[in-house]
């Protein structure tokens, strides 16, 4: 059972954050990366609700099962291309911010794969999922509790 229903307690903030999130995830620059990024950030943050949700979204959106399983081991997996690897690396960097910040070398390594617009969109996506993860962890959102409302029951994962 969740600790509080933050949507009902702060409906204006929740709706505005959801609108921001929807704008970010609908960005064409992120095609094919959204599921990888949201799953990896949710793994790192230990957000069961978001991990459950984004795995189901990945399934509905046609992501291969093996690739979903390999997101946790993307460093060693041969299943991701260089652009996907750059997005996953950027996700890890911004989710676990290093003490000294993001180095110029790290930035340049990721920047090679994205235009400035794409990198901004990717960064906003990472910001959005990290915020949702923090809400889910703080208030113990229950995995699967909104499947029917979000259409995630269509994933066929139970």
Look at residue 4 and tell me if it is in a domain. no
Q: Is the pLDDT of residue 1 over 90?
A: no
Calculated CA dihedral for residues 86, 45, 38, 43, nearest 10 degrees: 80
Look at residue 158 and tell me if it is in a domain. no
Look at residue 11 and tell me if it is in a domain. no
Reported as a pLDDT band with limits 50, 70 and 90, residue 104 is: very high
pTM of the prediction?
Answer: 0.94
Question: Counting every residue, how long is the chain?
Answer: 158
Q: State phi, psi for 136 to the nearest 5 degrees.
A: -60, -40
Q: How many domains does the chain have?
A: 1
Look at residue 86 and tell me if it is in a domain. yes
Q: Is the pLDDT of residue 157 over 90?
A: no
Q: Is the pLDDT of residue 108 over 90?
A: yes
By residue range, what is the domain housing residue 148? Answer: 16-152
Q: Is the pLDDT of residue 146 over 90?
A: no
CATH of the domain at 113: 1.20.1290.10
> Tokens 């809400």 belong to which residue?
135
Look at residue 10 and tell me if it is in a domain. no
Write the Ramachandran bin of 39: left for phi over 0, alpha for psi from -120 to 50, otherwise beta.
alpha
Look at residue 7 and tell me if it is in a domain. no
> Which residue, among 139, 117, 120, 116, has the nearest Cα to 128 in the 3D structure?
120
Look at residue 105 and tell me if it is in a domain. yes
Compute the radius of gyration of the chain from its Cα atoms.
16
Give the HSE-up count for residue 20: Cα atoms under 13 Å, Cβ half-sphere: 15
Residue-averaged pLDDT of the chain: 94
Look at residue 127 and tell me if it is in a domain. yes
């Amino acid at each position: 059972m969740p600790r509080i229903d933050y949507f009902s307690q702060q409906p204006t903030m929740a709706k505005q954050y959801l609108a921001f999130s929807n704008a970010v995830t609908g960005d064409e620059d992120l095609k094919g990366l959204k599921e990888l990024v949201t799953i990896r950030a949710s793994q790192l943050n230990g957000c069961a609700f978001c991990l459950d949700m984004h795995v189901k979204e990945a399934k509905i959106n046609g992501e291969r099962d093996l690739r979903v399983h390999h997101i946790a081991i993307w460093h060693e997996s041969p299943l991701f291309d260089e652009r996907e690897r750059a997005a996953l690396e950027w996700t890890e960097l911004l989710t676990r911010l290093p003490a000294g910040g993001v180095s110029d070398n790290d930035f340049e390594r990721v920047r090679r794969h994205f235009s400035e617009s794409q990198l901004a969109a990717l960064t906003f996506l990472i910001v959005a999922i990290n915020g949702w993860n923090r809400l889910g962890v703080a208030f113990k959102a229950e995995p699967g509790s909104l499947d029917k409302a979000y259409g995630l029951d269509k994933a066929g994962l139970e």
